[in-house]
Amino acid sequence: MTLVKLAHSELDCLKISNSFCEAVISFQGAQILEFFSKQQNKPLLWLSDLNSYALGKAIRGGIPLCFPWFGAHQQNTDYPSHGFARNFLWNLIDISADEKGHHITFELNDSVETRKYWNFAFSLQMSIVCGEQLQLELKLSNRDQVDIECDFVWHSYFPANTKIAQIIGLDQTEYIDQLDGNSLKMQENQQISFTQELDRIYPKTAGRFELLQNQYDSIYIQSNATSTVIWNPWIEKSARLQDVQNDAWQDFVCIECGQIGTEKVKIKSGEAVQYQLEIG
């Protein structure tokens, strides 16, 4: 394990290597940028090659954390999209290694800077296990005198050939179609395929999904968080995004686990909640 800066980057990262995987984790956002499974002999995450890795600028790819809101802020459109957690530096508070891999814990607490956007006392801990699987645990503690409510989403990017990729695990589940006036629809088909831009919020899901390339190539995603977002920008939106190649739409899909919409996180004063994500 080494502390590195990515090429032409302002950001410090941890580079992890063990018998199970190779991984890169940024101190900004406690964000996993790369995870290569040695057992499967393939990367389990996608990362854009047009990132600037500038301090305070969101990194496209890996697993950014959207917190404490998802998408644009409802009242203040000049606030950062998807919240501030992915744009701030987190503190590394623990790191160890054992027969299961490397265990890393980062922490982000409220500060003068966070209170400019969200005026609550809180603590976020992101615990990461880089082993045979990639495991994340997010713990949110309410340190304020009042109850708090928020969104969170692991905005995970997965490598995929979108011409053949399919997602299973969401059939017979209601979703909000963000490309059709936020209308409520039902996922009737067992598989989700990609033939155009897709942007769907599934408020309540079973929490386990598979991303299939073919019968021999798949990635599973499992979480105790109940909401899921499925996103691919397709051709026109990719051309509008400055931090991805124009043809990047055919290389990744997002399967994002969290708690949003009707399933927002609600925490009483002095209490805490924990959510897990496993990818393998």
Cα 154-30-48 angle, rounded to 5 deg: 70
Give the pLDDT confidence of 254-270 residue by residue, as tens digits. 999 999 989 999 999 99
CA 141 – CA 120 distance, rounded (Å): 11
Classified as helix, coil or strand, 250 is helix
How does the average pLDDT of the chain come out, rounded? 95
pLDDT at 4 over 70: no
List of residues 6+ apart from 74 with CB closer than 8 A: none
Q: What pTM did the predictor assign?
A: 0.97
pLDDT at 24 over 90: yes
Total number of domains constituting the chain: 1
- 168, 218 contact by CB (below 8 A): no
- For residue 238, give its domain range: 2-279
Q: Which of 121, 92, 138 is nearest to 265 (CA)?
A: 138
Q: Which of 155, 191, 176, 171 is nearest to 277 (CA)?
A: 155
pLDDT at 8 over 70: no
pLDDT at 88 over 70: yes
Domain containing residue 19: CATH number: 2.70.98.10
CA 21 to chain centre: 19
**Torsion, Cα of 181, 76, 123, 5 (10° steps):** 90
List of residues 6+ apart from 52 with CB closer than 8 A: 243
List, in sequence order, every residue forming a beta bridge with 268; answer none if it has no partner: none
Q: How far apart are the first and last CA of the chain?
A: 21
The pLDDT-based confidence of 1 (bands split at 50, 70, 90) is low
CA 216 – CA 147 distance, rounded (Å): 47
Give the pLDDT confidence of 128-148 residue by residue, as tens digits. 999 999 999 999 999 999 999
User: How deeply is 44 buried, as exposed, middle or buried, from its count of CB atoms within 10 A (0-12, 13-18, 19+)?
Assistant: buried
The reported pLDDT for the residue numbered 279 is 98
Give the pLDDT confidence of 181-226 residue by residue, as tens digits. 999 999 999 999 999 999 999 999 989 999 998 777 999 999 999 9
